[in-house]
């Protein structure tokens, strides 16, 4: 158990660091947990990873809140709809074959990477071209979609949220990262409520992982705020590319 715990904590630290900057830390933490603890049910491992994810995301959100002004109306609409959808996704996690969903996600991620790479101003300057009502409506709709995905599958949720806040709602990278963290807190809480109520969390692993995820999030957030939007844009591309490779591997070889 000691060796397993050490490996899980290292993965949690790296995941917290990545997630604090551009999201997508679950792409490292979740596969690592599935690999290190293969003798447990998948639902139990997914539930276990939600505890460290919540810890790191909460710290990152707190750090961002000191330098970013939140759009509370958009945030409330997105977070509340995402919370409800994540509950449904967690409930259905054992009832839908993920192999049906992953090819679709792979195509979307490739398009995201291409768009971000060729649009040099993507996420660098904040643009607001929507009315307040339209922003709130769109944030609620995308909150439902991404919240459901987080409850059902999970990894990459932070990156999808950042993409929506930038491409759809007109935020810059730093602002998008800050708002995405709050929404991700809501989806993690929803999943934890469901998984804990059904006995699908291994707290002996989840609590130490949470400590290391917190540490990673602390350093990741400091680096993002120090380096600014251009650095986060590059990091975003790297994580999206890694996500594409991960999903492609799952689809082709599993």
73 pLDDT tier (thresholds 50, 70, 90) = very high
pLDDT, tens only, 211-221: 999 999 999 88
Q: Does the pLDDT of residue 25 top 70, yes or no? A: yes
Q: At how many degrees (to 10) do helices 173-197 and 72-92 cross?
A: 40
**Residue 252: how many CB atoms within 10 A of its CB?**
8
* pLDDT score at 137: 94
What average pLDDT does range 43-67 have in this prediction?
90
Write b or e for each residue in 169-179: b if 16 or more Cβ atoms lie within 10 A of its Cβ, otherwise e: bbbbbbbbbbb
Separation of alpha carbons 185 and 32, rounded Å:
21
In 195-220, which positions are buried (b, 16+ CB within 10 angstroms) versus exposed (e)? beeeebbbeebbebbbebbbbbbbeb
Nearest Cα neighbor of 75 from 163, 153, 135, 151 is: 135
Q: Among 63-77, 104-118, 219-233, which range has the highest average pLDDT?
A: 63-77
Average pLDDT, the chain: 84
Tell me: the pLDDT tens digits for 180-191? 999 999 999 999
What pLDDT sits at residue 159? 80
CA atoms within 13 A on the CB side of 44: 10
Interval 163-183 mean pLDDT = 89
Cβ(62)–Cβ(181) below 8 Å = no
Q: What is the pLDDT of residue 96?
A: 65
Task: Pick the most confident of 26-40, 75-89, 94-108.
Answer: 75-89
Cα–Cα distance for residue pair 63/8, rounded to 1 Å = 25
CA distance 76 to 36: 37
């Amino acid at each position: 158990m000691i060796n397993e715990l050490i490996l899980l904590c290292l993965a949690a630290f790296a995941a917290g660091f990545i997630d604090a900057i551009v999201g997508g830390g679950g792409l490292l933490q979740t596969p690592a947990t599935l690999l290190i603890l293969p003798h447990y049910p998948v639902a139990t491992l997914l539930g276990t990873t939600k505890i460290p994810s919540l810890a790191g995301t909460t710290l990152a959100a707190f750090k961002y809140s000191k330098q970013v002004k939140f759009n509370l109306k958009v945030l409330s609409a997105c977070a509340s709809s995402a919370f409800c959808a994540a509950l449904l996704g967690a409930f259905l996690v054992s009832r839908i074959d993920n192999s049906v969903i992953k090819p679709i996600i792979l195509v979307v991620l490739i398009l995201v990477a291409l768009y971000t790479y060729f649009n040099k101003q993507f996420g660098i300057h904040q643009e607001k071209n929507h009315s307040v009502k339209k922003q709130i409506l769109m944030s609620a709709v995308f909150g439902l979609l991404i919240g459901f995905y987080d409850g059902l599958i999970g990894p990459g949720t932070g990156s999808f949220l950042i993409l929506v806040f930038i491409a759809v709602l007109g935020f810059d990278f730093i602002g998008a990262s800050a708002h995405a963290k709050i929404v991700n807190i809501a989806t993690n809480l929803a999943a934890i409520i469901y998984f804990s109520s059904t006995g699908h969390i291994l707290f002996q692993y989840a609590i130490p992982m949470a400590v290391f995820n917190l540490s990673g999030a602390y350093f990741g957030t400091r680096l993002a705020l120090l380096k600014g939007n251009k650095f986060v844009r590059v990091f975003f591309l790297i994580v999206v590319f890694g996500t594409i490779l991960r999903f492609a591997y799952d689809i082709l070889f599993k």
